[in-house]
């Protein structure tokens, strides 16, 4: 399981926030494992682009999350700074290690 936290340490909100994480070499994405653990829009997400605020891009071997308040299937939202949202927004997904 990979877990990534986005925190905004700036003076104001971060707008149009998109987090992209490329899978490490020799791993395979586990379908159905996208989740926003903490922050706006928390919950399980689908793998398909356009269904909700996260998707798996098989061609790029990357998970993509639109994060923050107001995020949707096509655009990132606004993430408050750490003074207002100290924990930021945390996502997770799973991979399988490919044996050689």
User: pLDDT, tens digit, for every residue of 4-29?
Assistant: 999 999 999 999 999 999 999 999 99
Q: How far is C-alpha 62 from the geometric centre of its chain's CA atoms?
A: 10
Contact in structure between 23 and 29 (CB atoms under 8 Å)? yes
Which pLDDT score is estimated for 95? 98
Q: How many domains does the chain have?
A: 1
Which pLDDT score is estimated for 85? 84
Contact in structure between 39 and 88 (CB atoms under 8 Å)? yes
Measured in degrees and rounded to the nearest 5, phi and psi for residue 75 equal: -145, 150
Q: How much is the pTM?
A: 0.93
Tokens of 70: 């107001």
Gyration radius of the chain's alpha carbons: 14
Range of the domain at 59: 2-97
Residue 98 DSSP symbol: P
Q: Is the pLDDT of residue 78 over 80?
A: yes
Q: Where are the strands (E) in the chain, listed by range? A: 2-6, 18-22, 27-29, 35-38, 43-44, 54-57, 62-66, 89-93, 95-97
Looking at every residue in the chain, the average pLDDT score rounds to 96
Kindly tell me the number of DSSP H helices and DSSP E strands found in the chain: 0, 9
Which pLDDT score is estimated for 34? 99
Q: Is the pLDDT of residue 100 over 90?
A: no
């Amino acid at each position: 399981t990979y877990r990534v936290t986005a925190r905004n340490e700036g003076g104001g909100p971060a707008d149009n926030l998109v987090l992209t994480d490329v899978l490490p070499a020799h791993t395979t994405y586990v379908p159905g494992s996208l989740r926003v653990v903490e922050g706006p829009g928390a919950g399980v997400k689908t793998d398909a682009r356009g269904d909700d605020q996260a998707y798996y891009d098989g061609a790029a071997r990357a998970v993509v999350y639109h994060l923050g308040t107001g995020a949707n299937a096509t655009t990132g939202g606004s993430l408050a700074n750490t003074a207002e949202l100290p924990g930021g927004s945390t996502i997770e997904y799973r991979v399988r290690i490919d044996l050689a």
